[in-house]
Structures are given as structure tokens and as C-alpha cells.
Amino acid sequence: MTRRILIAGNWKMNLIDDIQPIIDNNANRKLDILVCPPFTHLGIVQSAVKDSAVKLGAQNVHDEDNGAFTGEISYSFLKSLGIEYVIIGHSERRHVFNETDEFINKKVRKGLKKGFQTILCVGETETERNANRYKAVIENQLKIGLMGIENNFENIIIAYEPVWAIGTGKTATPFDAEDMHRFIREKVAEIAGNEVASDIRILYGGSVKEDNVKELLRQDNIDGALIGGASLKYEHFNKIIEIAELINI
């Protein structure tokens, strides 16, 4: 099976000036395009991308449907806006907001139950990599994050985001990124079988830009990119999409 490339823009706590050029320039791409704005602009962006090739995702969500969770958003709220994708377990949620693997797993399982395309993020810190513990860290994040999913893997996407590369300007070399993506695919095979592992899309995230995306996407096990800073300027995001499509053909 040929895995279709996904280019996803995570705006984090930022807004972009104009999404229309992203919509206009990418009507007939042979890949998937996703944007994930802040919660306050999901409705506005949904109106803009409706009936276009650009898909819409949320950056986070709570696992409960409702209740006394001040400041949180439920899957039901996202569903009412027509949201299709959700990012779970981004490194900033793990390391800034102290979300545990167990809590992340609850959100993953609820997202799949609700029919969302669920992007599970995994990644190691610089300390963990320097201590040669990074593969053990990723294996643990995968085992707990994917626990209890059973036969519902068709809506799971994994994003490998080394924490030391996010927003730092540092990027894993294509060799190192491919090594980790291959490792992730092997671990998914152990959890869910070879067929699931062959089909699942694994994205790379961590200072992805126009000048490094080509070599990253040329690797056998890298199926797209989860992009932060470079997704905030449409001309850069569009250029990355153009490059990715040439790889995808």
C-alpha cells in the first residue's frame, strides 16, 4: 500500500494573516493538507475551508464529554464544528502541561470512538536522547498511548517529534529521523500486527522547513510532516506542500 502524504500545520497559540492562499493554491493536490488553529478560530477557519481540499483539526481536547473542566474543550464541541482531526500528546502538552501517557491514552481512545482522525505525538527530550534512552521512551509512549485501541487503528496517525527539535531550529538528520520512524513502525507491528504497521502514517515534526522537507520525505518510513513555525506564513507552507507533492507522485 502507498501511504498518502499528510502535511499538517500546527499554529499553536498563533494566528495567520490569511488562509485563503492555502486553500486557493492546493485545490487538486495528490496529498492531504491539514491546518490546526487555536480553539477560538476553529469556527472561522471551518467556514473558510468548507468544501475545499484543506482539512481542519484541533490542537488538543479533553477526554470527558462535559463537566467541571474550566477552560477545556470536548470532542462533542469539536464534532459540532465539523472538525475531523485532533492532535493528542504534543510535546508541549506533555512537558509544559504535564499530561501523562495514561491521560493521553484516554483522549486517544475517546477520539477514535468519536470517529476522529487522531494524531498521537511521541518524542524524546534532549536529555533522554543523550542518555541513549530515547528508544525506550518512545516505546513506552507508544505502548501506553495505543493501549486498548484493538482493531481501530485505521484512524490513527503517529507524529514523531523529538522535543529537542521543536522550535529550536535543530532538525533530526534524515538518517536519524528515518531510524526512529522505522523503529516506531516496528513497535506498531508488535502491538497491532504487520498489516496495521504497513498502513499507518507516521509524520515527522521538529523545525521542518522548505530546505529540509524534501530529504525527510524521501525516507521510506516518513509519511508527512507536522509543521509549527513554517505553517504560520502561507508562502512557506505552500512551498512545503509543493515539494511534498513532488515526492508523493
Active-site residue list: 90, 161
Grid coordinates belonging to 204: 515527522
Find the length of the chain.
Answer: 249
The helix (run of H) or strand (run of E) holding residue 180 is helix 174-192
Q: CA–CA separation, 42 vs 47, rounded Å?
A: 9
| Angstrom distance (rounded) from CA 91 to CA 141 | 11
- Sign of the Cα torsion 221, 204, 28, 235 reads negative
Cα separation, 159 vs 89, whole angstroms:
10
User: Alpha-carbon distance 245 to 176, whole Å?
Assistant: 23
